[in-house]
């Protein structure tokens, strides 16, 4: 009897060990999964630990954080790597910063892209934010005696800042297309933020600017306060420009992220009212040749790109 019981105990012990061994073999699947995950992560070993992001036209770290922190957080989440801001003090700094490896990614205006590309020949436009109603106009007060664009000869025309897409390069291209020699036919005054009050106060005869200025001034001063003498064609999208120093796989991931997650990214950007220029915008694919008119206008103006 004792021998029989002993044999039964031995049998059950062997069965139990076999079951435990089977469970142990089953644990190899998570290990394989972890190994696969590690191998997948290894495919991105050449990615940097962080990306540095600059935005042209936004000066100083405080303003950059106020306007783009939600966008920064959303981009970090989608990419799985840190994104840090790099503040710029003017429109040209981003081109130099990318050239010397201080900036990995720039949200630029079309005009600024031409400068960045000139300084960094291998820089790549990944995607662009196509704004709604983004074009230039030449406007005068309704009471002005100037009735047509040709009447601007010999007159003072206000613009924004040198290098601004909608406040300088676009308006200049519009005047050139209208047959003006900007060195002889008109007196261009670069007035920055004072351009609007200069037109209201009669210090200049016309304002060549983005259509948003016309809309804002009409809203403030009433319908019929201003007349548009000429309108330019749609301006190119604001491109996200990647440094050629970034791994190709990361540049591809960035492009995919911008195009496939535009709703989340634009929503984050619009949390700041100061970014309302991107209302009704969409993110589109872009190519370098989309910005040829910017380059041509720089050439006509005699402004050398870096």
SS3 label, residue 228: strand
- Mean per-residue pLDDT for 95-99? 92
End-to-end CA distance of the chain: 99
- Mean per-residue pLDDT for 36-45? 51
Cα–chain center distance at 75: 12
- 22 vs 17, residue with greater confidence: 22
CB 57 within 8 A of CB 17: no
Rg of the chain over Cα atoms, rounded to whole angstroms, equals 29
Length reported for the chain:
306
Structure tokens at 52: 């540095």
The model's pLDDT over 116-175, given as tens digits with 9 standing for 90+, comes to 999 999 999 999 999 999 999 999 999 999 999 999 999 999 999 999 999 999 999 999
The model's pLDDT over 57-92, given as tens digits with 9 standing for 90+, comes to 898 999 999 999 999 999 999 999 999 999 988 778
Query: Which domains are delineated in the chain?
Result: 50-132+236-301 (3.40.190.10), 136-231 (3.40.190.10)
The model's pLDDT over 199-238, given as tens digits with 9 standing for 90+, comes to 999 999 999 999 999 999 999 999 999 999 999 999 999 9
- Mean per-residue pLDDT for 242-250? 95
- Mean per-residue pLDDT for 93-103? 92
Instruction: Sheet containing 124-130: give its strands across.
Output: 82-85, 50-55, 105-107, 238-242, 124-130, 282-284
* Predicted pLDDT of residue 306: 65
Q: Is the pLDDT of residue 5 over 50?
A: no
* Predicted pLDDT of residue 43: 60
* Predicted pLDDT of residue 221: 97
**Kindly report the CA angle at 30 between 29 and 36, in degrees rounded to 5?**
90
CB 207 within 8 A of CB 138: yes
Segment holding 240, helix H or strand E:
strand 238-242
* Predicted pLDDT of residue 82: 96
* Predicted pLDDT of residue 45: 83
DSSP characters over 51-97: EEEEETT-BSHHHHHHHHHHHHHHHHHHHTSEEEE--BSSTTHHHHH
């Amino acid at each position: 009897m004792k021998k029989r019981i002993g044999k039964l105990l031995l049998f059950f012990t062997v069965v139990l060990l076999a079951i435990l061994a089977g469970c142990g073999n089953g644990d190899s699947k998570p290990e394989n999964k972890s190994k696969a995950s590690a191998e997948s992560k290894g495919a991105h070993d050449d990615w940097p630990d962080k990306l540095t992001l600059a935005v042209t036209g936004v000066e100083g770290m405080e303003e950059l954080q106020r306007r783009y922190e939600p966008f920064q957080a959303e981009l970090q989440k989608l990419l799985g790597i840190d994104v840090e801001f790099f503040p710029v003090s003017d429109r040209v700094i981003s081109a130099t910063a990318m050239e010397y490896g201080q900036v990995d990614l720039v949200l630029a205006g079309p005009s600024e892209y031409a400068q960045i590309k000139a300084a960094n020949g291998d820089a790549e436009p990944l995607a662009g934010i196509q704004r709604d109603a983004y074009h230039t106009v030449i406007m005068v007060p309704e009471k002005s005696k100037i009735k047509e664009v040709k009447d601007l000869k010999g007159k003072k025309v206000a613009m924004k800042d040198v290098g601004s897409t909608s406040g300088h390069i676009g308006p200049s291209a519009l005047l050139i297309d209208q047959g003006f020699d900007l060195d002889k036919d008109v007196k261009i005054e670069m007035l920055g933020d004072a351009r609007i009050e200069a037109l209201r106060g009669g210090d200049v005869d016309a304002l060549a600017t983005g259509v948003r200025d016309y809309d804002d001034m009409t809203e403030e001063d009433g319908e019929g306060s201003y007349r548009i003498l000429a309108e330019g064609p749609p301006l190119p999208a604001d491109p996200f420009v990647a440094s050629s120093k970034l791994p190709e796989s990361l540049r591809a991931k960035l492009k995919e992220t911008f195009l496939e997650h535009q709703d989340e990214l634009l929503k984050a950007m619009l949390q700041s009212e100061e970014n309302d220029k991107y209302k009704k915008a969409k993110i589109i694919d872009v190519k370098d040749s989309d910005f040829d008119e910017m380059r041509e206008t720089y050439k006509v103006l005699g402004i050398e790109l870096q």
